Structure 1
């Protein structure tokens, strides 16, 4: 979850995000190593009092500076491809949720709820205006209705749009799915711990693009059942 004054990435709360953070750390280590080597050779060439009028042929040096970039690319490419295919692998989601982007709000639909007689729950989620924000809440990130999901359950999320391109993004859960009119995109994820996770539309969709917050609340399964019953009773 995001915290006040936070500089680094949000804490990972899904297997996807954990893998992405590991890949980020690996990529940063490789890039720092390359930067230090380049800086060392540049400073050595600039500050050294020795120089060569002609560079002799060196098969060892040519082989080294050909093999080293290949090794770096393999170190970065293999985990990147692994994470890409892992996100696209097919699994049977225990729950299904449909997300519809509109200018400028989100519509959430629960077509079928596992182990429940309730179905076809739908509601709209708008941004809470700044003048109604309470102490401790986040400006431009609070929504009047949150998407409530149970913890440690596999969810299949379908994302689409009714008008223009949108992008449903929740960084703490490692979710980023484009919503295109007339097309369904999907992703499966599993939240590892309870909490409230914030996101925003990541595709420029019009004048109020910045005013489409996403609130995902992960709760225990018992609280999720009570929330479903409260939604039904309120209707």
Structure 2
């Protein structure tokens, strides 16, 4: 009886886990336990990516259901019992034209919004500021290209260094501070091996290649803390290169910029207080 109760409890817990997939509590801008969908989009590119994904989901679902229906029909109609004398037809011109033309049409339907999205994500809006991200083994360095000398490094905090509310493996000692509603050009490179600067909430994933400068862009639409990671297998500590961005209002960003420049002028690392910057109207 005890084993039966344990089995029932296990099944109930498993069912509860599946029912709550993708809706587990988590702050915007970071992944959630059991999440099965994209993170919420907070930039124009990410919003377009989600829309394109939804279109593909409808197309893929329709194709899968159609193939399943054909498979079931063939199993029922042409099994040995229902069709003891099979047809010896080897070609059907009409069907061959259909299964060639229809996939081509489907690919064209997919291709048009796909190319538009690729262009939109690659086209750099007129930038209001430029951030340079540099991949190292195994951490990120950042330079504010419009602010002379303003640069810092961001290294993942170990578990015993985390404060309450800070996510494990995603929190860095220094966070990037960026203003919302601003076209931000992001330059990405690497110092040693291949890395990849990825921020899912902003629809950004750009390879960092030694000796090469790649660029992308983003426009953050809401204040808050956002997290990403290196998405290129770059070595032993590949999984320990998180990215942490604090998005603030333009007014708070200007205030922080003044303080950061003063700290840098005094010889201190201007990013030391990044993680403690809190926007005045943050939720």
Assess same fold via TM > 0.5.
Answer: yes
Query: Is 1:170 equivalent to 2:170 in the alignment?
Result: no
Task: Tell me the equivalent position of 1:151.
Answer: 180
Looking at structure 1, the residues matched to 146 and 32 of structure 2 have their Cα atoms a distance apart, in angstroms, of: 37
Instruction: Pick the aligned partner of 1:4 from 12, 32, 35.
Output: 32
Counterpart of 1:65 (choices 68, 84, 99) is: 99
Provide the C-alpha distance between the structure 1 equivalents of 2:31 and 2:242, rounded to a whole number of angstroms. Answer: 16
Contact 1:95 1:156 in 2 (8 A): yes
CA distance in 1, matches of 2:70, 2:94: 17
Mapping 1:66-105, distance limit 5 Å = 66-105=100-139
Larger strand percent: 1
Q: TM-score, normalising length from structure 1? A: 0.91
Of 154-163 and 187-196, the range deviating more from structure 2: 187-196
Q: How far apart are the structure 1 equivalents of 2:32 and 2:130?
A: 32
Selected match of 1:122 from 135, 146, 151: 151
Q: Quick check: 1:164–1:205 contact (8 Å CA) kept in 2?
A: yes
SS in 1 for 2:243: strand
Point out which structure has higher relative CO (alpha carbons under 8 A, 6+ apart).
1
Deviation at 1:183, TM superposition (A): 1.1
Which residue does the alignment assign to 2:69?
40
Distance 1:124 1:57, change over 3 A: closer
Deviating beyond 4 angstroms after TM superposition, the runs of 4 or more aligned structure 1 residues are: 56-59
Among candidates 53, 64, 85, match of residue 24 of structure 1: 53
Contact 2:124 2:216 in 1 (8 A): no
Q: Please, which of 169, 174, 180 is the counterpart of residue 140 of structure 1?
A: 169
| Residues 161 and 65 of structure 1, relative CA distance in 2, 3 Å threshold | same
Q: How many residues align?
A: 230
- Of stretches 147-156 and 86-95 in structure 1, the one that deviates more from structure 2 is 86-95
Q: Give the secondary structure class of the aligned counterpart of 2:153.
A: strand
Q: Whole-Å Cα distance in 2 between the matches of residues 84 and 133 of structure 1?
A: 38
Partners of 2:32 and 2:200 in 1: CA distance = 16
Partner residue in 2 for 1:116: none
Assess if the C-alpha contact under 8 Å between 1:148 and 1:219 holds in 2.
yes
Quote the offset at 1:204 in angstroms. Answer: 1.4
C-alpha distance in 1, partners of 2:224/2:246?
6
8 Å contact from structure 1 (residues 12, 173) kept in 2: yes
Contact map agreement 2:172 2:243 (CA 8 A) in 1: yes
Greater radius of gyration (CA): 2
Map Cα deviations across residues 145-174 of structure 1 (whole Å, 9 max, x no partner): 111110011011111111111111101001
Q: Do the aligned residues in 2 keep the contact of 1:112 with 1:120 (CA within 8 Å)? A: no
By how many angstroms is 1:11 displaced?
Answer: 0.6
Give the conservation status (yes or no) of the 8 Å contact 2:49–2:117: yes
Q: CA deviation at 1:19?
A: 1.0
Task: Give 3-state SS (helix, strand or coil) of 2:99's partner.
Answer: helix
TM-score normalised by length of structure 2 = 0.76
Say if 2:263 is the partner of 1:234.
yes
List runs of 5+ in structure 1 lacking aligned partners: 114-118
